[in-house]
Homo-oligomer: A and B are copies of this chain.
Amino acid sequence: MTSDFSYKNKKVITIGIVRDLTGLSERQIRYYEERKLIFPERSPGGSRKYSFADVELLVEIANKIEDGVQTHEIRKEMLRAQKKQSQDDVRKKMIQGQLNAQFGIRKGPSS
């Protein structure tokens, strides 16, 4: 239902490209992973694979760090944001459910 078939979230970019795209060093990129701010996938051989969304996130992270925010704090912020998001999702689903109950009942032999 939610598209999410987007290119934005496919993990297909190697760390060298991410380095070029963000201007960060590989060391930095790996370090932010170590601090659980980013979660690349791995190829069978162990190489990291990032998405465009990851690239954007990395830039945001780098900006915050420049502003003196610690990875520790950034992580908390992210968890907070994430939690609120999932709450919002639940609410939306509930409303959707209400609507379906009222009007959208299209189950059973009705063709």
Interface set of A (CB-CB < 8 Å, partner B): 6-8, 10, 12-14, 16-17, 21, 43, 49, 52
Contacts and interface: CB of A to CB of B under 8 A. Distances in A.
Contacts of A10: 52
Please state the number of chain copies in the assembly. Answer: 2
A49 B18 CA distance: 13
Contacts of A6: 7
Nearest to A43: B16
B12 A21 contact: yes
Nearest to A47: B16
Contacts of A43: 16
A14 to B, nearest CB: 6
A59 to B, nearest CB: 14
Contacts of A21: 12
A49 B17 contact: yes
A17 to B, nearest CB: 5
A12 B49 CA distance: 11
